């Protein structure tokens, strides 16, 4: 399925569950990360994206979409996030976060969401212990000594597992110029 093909919506409009499922599978994760850029709440981002797909299916017979699926979905997510923020009274005109969101080109946000998806997939492919140590270090902010204490292992083991994790991530993300991206993603040094 091509995400730039507007015929996907015709298929969905006609009740083609396969086309709908394919669209969902190919875009859901990216859309969640994209929504998270606006609202900084991944659970709420997932909820917003899920509701968009529910609405798309429920209202499929009435929809009149003439843009590409990718364009429609990203614009819908952006609008729903803005609506959510307004409803939650979280948008204050002139705030730095709003200005930052406006100044980031749409395509950059899409690419960043896609990159985040690739990084998460690569992390999930790490061996279990390696992934646990990597997550504690990079996402929970623990230092090597804290991880060693928490997991009852040596600091050297933590260092070795982090080395394995970084090597595997570089390999899995090599098509994304991994040295630059991983260094940006993992810029926090312990």
State yes or no: pLDDT of 172 exceeds 90: no
pLDDT, residue 104, reads 55
State yes or no: pLDDT of 156 exceeds 90: yes
Q: Which domain holds residue 183?
A: 125-190
Indicate whether 86 belongs to any domain. yes
Local structure of residue 116 (DSSP, 8 states): H
Indicate whether 115 belongs to any domain. no
Indicate whether 119 belongs to any domain. no
**Lowest model confidence (mean pLDDT) among 37-51, 142-156, 174-188:** 174-188
Same domain, 96 and 145: no
Indicate whether 184 belongs to any domain. yes
CATH number of the domain where residue 146 is located: 1.10.10.10
Give burial (CB, 10 Å; 0-12/13-18/19+) of 49: buried
Same domain, 96 and 134: no
More confident residue, 116 or 67: 67
CA–CA separation, 6 and 18 (whole Å)? 15
Tens digit of each residue's pLDDT (9 = 90 or more) over 72-113: 888 899 989 888 888 877 554 444 454 455 555 555 566 666
Report how far apart, in Å, the C-alpha atoms of 179 and of each of 88, 103, 125 are: 39, 26, 18
Tens digit of each residue's pLDDT (9 = 90 or more) over 25-57: 888 888 998 898 888 888 899 999 999 988 888
Question: What is the tally of structural domains in the chain?
Answer: 2
Average pLDDT, the chain: 78
Indicate whether 114 belongs to any domain. no
Same domain, 28 and 61: yes
Same domain, 99 and 153: no
């Amino acid at each position: 399925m091509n995400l730039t093909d507007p015929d996907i919506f015709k298929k969905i409009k006609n009740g083609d569950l396969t086309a709908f499922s394919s669209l969902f599978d190919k875009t859901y994760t990216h859309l969640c990360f994209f929504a998270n850029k606006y609202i900084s709440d991944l659970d709420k981002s997932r909820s917003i994206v899920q509701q968009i797909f529910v609405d798309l299916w429920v209202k499929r017979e009435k929809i009149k979409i003439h843009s590409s699926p990718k364009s429609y979905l990203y614009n819908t997510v952006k609008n729903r996030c803005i609506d959510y923020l307004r409803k939650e009274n979280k948008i204050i005109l002139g705030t730095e976060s709003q200005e930052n969101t406006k100044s980031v080109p749409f395509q950059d946000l899409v690419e960043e969401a896609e990159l985040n998806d690739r990084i998460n997939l690569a992390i999930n492919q790490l061996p279990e212990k390696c992934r646990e140590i990597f997550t504690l270090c990079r996402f929970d902010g623990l230092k090597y000594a804290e991880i060693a204490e928490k997991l009852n292992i040596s600091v050297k083991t933590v260092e070795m597992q982090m080395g394995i994790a970084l090597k595997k991530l570089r390999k899995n993300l090599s098509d994304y110029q991994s040295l630059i991206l991983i260094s940006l993603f993992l810029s926090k040094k312990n």
